[in-house]
Chain A
Amino acid sequence: MSRTVSDLRNNLVEFVRTFGAFQLFFLRLLRHSPAILGSRSGLVIKQVYNTGAQSLVIIMVCGLFVGAVLALQAYSNMSQFNAEDWTGVAAAFALVKELGPVMTALLFAGRAGTALTSEIGLMKATDQLSAMEMMAVNPVRRVLVPRFLGGVIAMPFLAAIFSAIGMFGAHIIGVELFQVDVGSFWQQIQLTVEMADVNEGIIKSVVFGVAASLIAVWEGYNTVPTAEGVGRATTRTVVITAITILVFDFMITAALL
């Protein structure tokens, strides 16, 4: 009995310790960020390319289909009230405020976050990070910060592209397929969606970008340096990012309501 209690206490202490270490890690990345952005921007650009430009295909295809399916659902419901003109509004609100940032962040975790974790994890497993330290190169500065910044920069752009392509998909379904009048389709959107809604999406995508990149880099840096460890770290990245993003999404929405 007392053993379970002490186990529980140890687990709790361990959890709090990990959480604290995570925060300190975040501060460490932030402290190095301005210097890296200024002097080693080439490294950051490379990472924006890896995490952002390389994710374009999956983001654009998913965005198109998410927008299309939103329009399909909205149309079939709205048409019961003779409010087909609102098809676009439903799709626009869902995309700009929720699905754009959230779906992009989840896809980002799957496409770019796992790549970051396994890359850094493998570097650790093959002692490349220790080798850097031996050459007096700080691996946090040289490896982690550019990858973190690349993700942070890429994510809002990816979310914006997702939403814009999604609107295009909604237009195809609403206007081309269901023959909603193109004028009222876009006019209703413009009358209803406000700048605050777009801002909400941007705020979310920035927060999610920081969260997803941070978790991916953290998991990679703290990988157990074995083949199995890298695999586990990659899985943990996806799971933790997904949970964090959905919880944050709820909190931001509640806060901005």
Chain B
Amino acid sequence: MRQTRSVEIGTGLFVLLGMSSLFFLTTQTTGGDDFKAESVYTVEARFENIGSLRTRAPVTMSGVTIGRVTEVAFDPATLEAVVHFVVDSKYDQIPDDTDASILTSGILGSQYIGLQAGGSDMYLEDGSEILFTQSAIVLENLIGKFLVNAGSSDKESD
């Protein structure tokens, strides 16, 4: 009797420990949804080049995450990337001439959308489109431009 009791307690503790570990792994190491909102509205933005922006990338304003990218698509008519993202309905007073740019967190970090407030009296609402956008800075293009500039300045000095 005593034997079975300690076996049962040991097994129970083991399974509880296992379950709490699973819980820890699934909640603490994943997701990272620091963005949680009760209701959201969807905004669209078109970019020439989105770099490596993916769905679930954060949308920030002044560095605070206020939304998340929900869909990345390609528009064959305009040959642009169409990005849909949701913004927490708490922030319903974002001017509609706000501009969106694709930024990189750190040098190796992931890409995100940074919003820069405009000055309009009209606010973004569900389904509106951001007109002023700035594409992702692609490192290769940057290096390419730098090399071209370096080459041309060499010629000028000759």
Cα–Cα, bound, A189→B7 (Å): 37
Distance between A214 CB and nearest chain B CB, rounded to angstroms: 20
Q: Is A246 an interface residue (CB 8 A)?
A: no
Cα–Cα, bound, A156→B25 (Å): 13
Q: Are B24 and A49 in contact (CB under 8 A)?
A: no
Q: Are B21 and A53 in contact (CB under 8 A)?
A: no
Q: Is A230 an interface residue (CB 8 A)?
A: no
Q: Is B15 an interface residue (CB 8 A)?
A: yes
Chain A, interface SS category: helix
For chain B, give the interface size range.
Answer: 20 to 34
Cross-chain contact of A48 among B15, B17, B21 (Cβ < 8 A) = B15
| A163: B residues at CB distance < 8 A | 21, 25
Distance between A160 CB and nearest chain B CB, rounded to angstroms: 4
Q: Are B14 and A48 in contact (CB under 8 A)?
A: yes
Q: Is B8 an interface residue (CB 8 A)?
A: yes
Q: Are B11 and A45 in contact (CB under 8 A)?
A: yes
Cross-chain contact of A46 among B7, B21, B107 (Cβ < 8 A) = B7
| B110: A residues at CB distance < 8 A | 191-192
| A94: B residues at CB distance < 8 A | none
Cα–Cα, bound, A56→B16 (Å): 12
| B29: A residues at CB distance < 8 A | 92, 96, 167, 189-190, 193, 198
Residue of A at shortest CB range from B13?
A53
Report which residue of B4, B13, B18, B108 has the largest number of chain A beta carbons within 10 angstroms of its beta carbon. B18
Q: Is B144 an interface residue (CB 8 A)?
A: no
Q: Are B10 and A49 in contact (CB under 8 A)?
A: yes
Q: Are A161 and B13 in contact (CB under 8 A)?
A: no
Cα–Cα, bound, A191→B57 (Å): 9
Q: Are A96 and B25 in contact (CB under 8 A)?
A: yes
Q: Are B14 and A154 in contact (CB under 8 A)?
A: yes
Residue of A at shortest CB range from B112?
A191
| B107: A residues at CB distance < 8 A | 81-83
Bits for B1-32, please: 1 = Cβ < 8 Å to A, else 0: 00010011011011101111110111011111
Cross-chain contact of A197 among B21, B24, B30 (Cβ < 8 A) = B30
Q: Are B108 and A164 in contact (CB under 8 A)?
A: no
Q: Are A53 and B14 in contact (CB under 8 A)?
A: yes
Residue of B at shortest CB range from A196?
B30
Residue of B at shortest CB range from A81?
B108
Q: Are A195 and B26 in contact (CB under 8 A)?
A: yes
| B30: A residues at CB distance < 8 A | 190, 193-195, 197-198
Whether A53 contacts B11 in the complex (CB less than 8 A), given A92-B29, A96-B29, comes out as: yes
Cα–Cα, bound, A45→B51 (Å): 53
Q: Is A146 an interface residue (CB 8 A)?
A: no
The 10 closest A-B pairs by CB, nearest first: A157-B18, A190-B32, A164-B21, A53-B14, A160-B21, A53-B10, A160-B22, A191-B32, A49-B11, A161-B21
Known: A157-B18, A160-B18, A190-B28. 19 other contacts (CB 8 A): A42-B4, A45-B8, A46-B7, A48-B15, A49-B14, A81-B108, A82-B107, A83-B106, A156-B22, A158-B18, A160-B21, A160-B25, A164-B24, A164-B25, A189-B32, A190-B30, A193-B30, A198-B26, A198-B29
Interface on B for A, CB 8 Å cutoff?
Answer: 4, 7-8, 10-11, 13-15, 17-22, 24-26, 28-32, 34, 106-108, 110
